[in-house]
């Protein structure tokens, strides 16, 4: 499973001119299920995202997670957006191959599972819509952009 995390001051997802998900300060997570990914991989990805210390503390050091954004226990938002293009393989020619992406039914199931687990573990979770044409708006904070990959267990 791959993800790109963007620390944001605010972010939203629009579909056909309608905002379907929006957060203030927190993380925009672009998420891609790959072939061979499982619920256990999704669980490990979520645990990493929730605990990753990429928000500044009072001294300006990256010591806080999205779960403790202000150091007083206030959580930041999570905006989860499916993005199969993170599985792009560009090694052969100029047109990306997406054969590493999970099949659409598997990708949807894993995305839905990830969202459900995130909502059970975190109080502010918003989403885009799987397989929809979306416009993602964000104000990147820092900028801080972190790529993550969790491999299936061998």
Dist. CA 3–CA 144, nearest whole Å: 14
> Chain centroid to CA 33: how far?
11
Strand 77-82 vs strand 26-32: parallel, antiparallel, or unpaired? Answer: parallel
pLDDT tens-digit profile of 9-63? 999 999 999 999 999 999 999 999 999 999 999 999 999 999 999 999 999 999 9
| Residues designated as active site | 83-85
Please determine, for residue 98, whether its predicted confidence score (pLDDT) is greater than 70: yes
C-alpha–C-alpha distance, residues 29 and 136, integer Å: 11
């Amino acid at each position: 499973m791959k993800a790109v995390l963007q620390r944001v001051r605010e972010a939203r997802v629009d579909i056909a001119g309608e905002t379907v998900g929006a957060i203030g300060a927190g993380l925009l997570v672009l998420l891609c299920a790959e072939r061979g990914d499982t619920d256990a991989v999704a669980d490990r990805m979520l645990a990493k995202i929730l605990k990753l210390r990429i928000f500044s503390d009072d001294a300006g050091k990256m010591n806080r997670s999205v779960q403790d954004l202000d150091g007083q226990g206030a959580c930041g938002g999570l905006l989860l957006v499916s993005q199969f293009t993170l599985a792009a393989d560009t090694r052969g020619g100029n047109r990306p191959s997406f054969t590493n992406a999970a099949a659409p039914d598997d990708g949807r199931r894993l995305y839905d599972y990830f969202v459900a687990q995130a909502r059970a573990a975190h109080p502010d979770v918003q989403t885009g819509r799987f397989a929809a044409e979306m416009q993602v708006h964000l104000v990147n904070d820092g900028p801080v952009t972190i790529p993550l990959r969790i491999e299936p267990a061998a």
